[in-house]
Chains A and B, each alone.
Chain A
């Protein structure tokens, strides 16, 4: 694999990242297995941050584990749980521990998780967080104080290409780029024609764009996402393809679909890479990569 995540964009035409989710608890045996499985097959490994507002091991701690095992971590940092002091502190800690990339997110609201009575912070939003990374990289904190040593972080953000309505989302996307985002990982896409149209709109920006690929496990999952997850639309043809597969072979169909999409995106040079999300099925990511050959 390349020297680092940021460097991969210079060295290759198509960059691949995947994701691991820290467990709720201190037993990290399975997590270590997933990290070992994936670290050499991808250019970067995202570590989620209390994903879906469910309390888990912090992203930073697991990023360090990834480094220890020889992988390249991408820190995910949300604004839900930390005020501006804690966020800046976390960014400084990331550099000190060797983490070089950070994905800046606003974060799901606390009510969707398992501690709904908690106090949501949201002192900053993703745009302000991106600006903060830029400031820290220049050696100054948010209050303008000179720091003893700057951070060295490659900042990224997310976008939802199929948001409805799309205009406010695009406006915010442009703000993220002005605020300093250098790479973008999109929300899951399934309709490649729509995605190509989206790419035509955003190609002019100087930013690396990676299409989000979420592994479909069952047709029910596809229908559930259509109904409940904002900005994800699984076309009927794909749901039918999943449904048509034999019992016990649904997951294989999902892997085939994911592989096919990645292959098409790569061969037609639609974007700069893909980000594979297979939460719960991290062990099948190598199969997806194989299907994309």
Chain B
């Protein structure tokens, strides 16, 4: 690993379900547990809401590792949300492998609401994993000044006409 890589701080995104994982996160806070600051927690109602596109976009925008944290099997507040999430994560790993990104950057964890320490452990685990796998190769192309919005490049094309059926989504609207 060269100096640049050793100095890199991974960006890890954690999608946490409200009823279990996020609650565990709160508990970790109350317990004053320390864990890697690299993890950005995104609270979602249930991991069943997770779609492949949410995970793929996180990687496209430069995340080095992403994990989905949900309830234990059988404990999902919405009954089968976590089962859907397990499937989606497995499918997205396949999509990542197809384009040459390491599928190990993505993971699903069961983190019950009472498991504050486990929450911290997983955060540390994924950060360590991201450090080991190295920065997301897509990262280099994104430049974001601290505290500023992501810049969008002007592609020099005229504005889109009014669309009644189907709306055309421009590449440039997605990412710079």
Are any A and B Cβ atoms less than 8 Å apart in their complex? no
